[in-house]
Structure 1
Amino acid sequence: MNATLKITRIGNSAGVILPKELLARLRVGPGDTLYLTEAPDGVRITATDPGFERKMALAEQIMRDDRDILRALAK
């Protein structure tokens, strides 16, 4: 999908209006949060927190390494 977005004045700020096709593709709507991250070729907009995957991988590693401790705590 290619889209051209125009910067629009919103009060003292500026913003862009996202086409409904892009909103549908991202599965977001008014009030949802989007995340902007730098990429080698510019910027990337996603609906998922880019840090979440890293945090989950760390949590899974801790759960594997400390399985016996966690099992004892669960009793």
Structure 2
Amino acid sequence: MNTVVRKIGNSEGVILPKEILEQAGLVTGDRLTAIVSEQEIRLVKADSDFDEELAHARTFMDKYRDALSKLAK
């Protein structure tokens, strides 16, 4: 399938046909994670539990940045 990057408001995006969304088990409102490599962009359904855990980890790392830096030495 070929598609085009289009202007959507102040952003740019790609419209995915309904058939592809159905094959991937996606519906409107699903969150996706974009994985970028040299010549491809993979979109995978985001794991909401993982996203929440990652947000908590980032908050923890920000709060204890100095202590973690000393422990890493």
Identity %: 37
In structure 2, relative to structure 1, the CA distance for the partners of 1:38 and 1:8 (3 Å cut) is closer
SS of the residue aligned with 1:21?
A: helix
In structure 2, relative to structure 1, the CA distance for the partners of 1:40 and 1:12 (3 Å cut) is closer
SS of the residue aligned with 1:32?
A: coil
After superposition, the CA RMSD in angstroms is 2.1
Stretches of structure 1 lacking an aligned partner (at least 5 in a row): 56-75
The Cα shift of 1:43 comes to: 2.1
TM-score (norm 2): 0.53
The corresponding residue for 1:36 is 34
TM-score (norm 1): 0.52
Stretches of structure 2 lacking an aligned partner (at least 5 in a row): 54-73
Distance 1:40 1:14 in 2: 20
SS of the residue aligned with 2:27?
A: coil
Higher Cα radius of gyration: 1
